[in-house]
Structure 1
Amino acid sequence: MYMNYLAHAYLSFNDQSLIIGNMIADYVKGKQWQEYDPGIQHGIQLHRAIDTFTDTHPVTLAAREYFQPSCGRYSAVFIDIVYDHFLATDTTIFTDASLAAFSKQTYNTITHHHDILPPVFQQVFRYMRQHDWLYNYQFMDGIYKSFNGIVHRAKFLEATADAPYGVLEKYYEELAAHYRTFFPELVAFVKTYPH
């Protein structure tokens, strides 16, 4: 499952417990989150708050419209990855070198907590690190591979990765503008989120 892992990692602001909680949240079901340390619990709750903020934000809803005709209900997932692409290429946040360093640091943090990761995420993480997803979000080829991963796992999507990729290419500047409007608001939201 390719999600907006880069944004969730970045929005943990170098707090190791938040990084773990933020990265595993989609794989923690029901009340399983209560089995983790308080810091990781907070990361799981923060992840869910980020998702809710993102999914209900007017800018995100507008950005999804580009993908709606070809991708339907999966538009939200593709937008998450598009946001990660624009974050990875955001020169106000990352340089190529700092993105590479941030990715490596995030992988090391997750590896250090490997034993407590949900089993499914352990498998996902193996691929994430092997193929350096966080760093490769900056490249269009990396985005295409992410889209392809979603298409292969999507039960009700009758499209190939070419469909959302074509949308991204066609509306690249418009989607970039949506990101530039949205992301600072998301950062402000996370910084005011209760600790």
Structure 2
Amino acid sequence: MNFLAHAYLSFHQPDLMTGNMIGDFVKGRQLALYPQPIQEGIRLHRAIDTFTDNHPATFAARAIFRPQTRLYGAVFTDIVMDHFLANDPRHFTDTSLQAFAQEVYATIGTPPVALPSSFTHMLGYMSSQNWLYNYRFRNGMEQTFRGIVRRAKYINFEASVPLSVFDTHYNALQQCYDEFFPALYTFVQKYTAA
């Protein structure tokens, strides 16, 4: 899952959200640099990623992208899942998504500890361009895909390639989300309760 899902699955708990959002930017022993509540968020992030990587519906979604995007299919699948979450009326309305995005930026923008510099740099773009809210829209997806293609070292295709896959296979990708996200939500509820 991408940033919106990680934030949402923190259930409005600031320290858990902070750790969950920075999870990809904290490697190995760096975990010990953070207070226990933020470490729990980082561990949650890793648990979400493991669950996601091993779910049959995300395998199916990655297979849709793979012929055109090769190893980057997983990256584009994560972003697409955030698009469907942003448009899922069981979780968000347009207004509640906008409010939630602002809550996330405020929470992560005023952390109790120093965050990884690469995350802090990216957060400036995320909040100024309102990524979390704009996942809702096709043009937001196009901008996100362009950003991934521009920043990735080994991509040798244009952003129009994953966007075309997204457009062509929209309904199939939606079905993958519909199978996957309820299972992930239940998994995270049980994980955080334990």
Partner residue of 2:160?
A: 162
Alignment of structure 1 residues 18-37 onto 2, 5 Å: 18-37=16-35
Amino acid at match of 1:54: T
Find the counterpart in structure 2 of residue 151 from structure 1.
149
1:87 equivalent in structure 2: 85
CA distance in 1, matches of 2:7, 2:65: 25
TM-score, L = length of structure 1 = 0.96
Identity within the alignment, %: 51
2:109 to 104, 111, 116: 111
> CA contact under 8 A between 2:34 and 2:113: conserved in structure 1?
no
Alpha-carbon distance, 1:116 to partner:
1.4
Stretch moving more, 114-123 or 162-171: 114-123
Determine the structure 2 residue equivalent to 1:12: 10
Query: 1-side partners of 2:11 and 2:87: how far apart?
Result: 18
Cα RMSD (Å):
1.2
Q: Which runs of 4+ in 1 moved over 4 A?
A: none
Match of 1:130 in 2: 128
Structure-1 separation of matches of 2:159 and 2:54? 25
Distance in 2 between the 1:143 and 1:82 partners?
8
- What are the superposed Cα offsets for residues 75-115 of structure 1, whole Å, 9 maximum, x if unpaired? 00000000000000001110000000000011110111175
One-letter amino acid matched to 2:57: V
In structure 1, stretches of 5+ residues that fail to align are none
Could you tell me how far apart the structure 1 residues matched to 2:22 and 2:175 are? 29
Unaligned runs of 5+ residues in structure 2 are none
TM-score when scaled to structure 2?
0.96
- The amino acid that maps onto 1:136 is N
CA displacement at 1:17 relative to structure 2: 0.7
State yes or no: 1:42 paired with 2:48: no
Aligned counterparts of 1:29 and 1:52: Cα–Cα separation in 2:
15
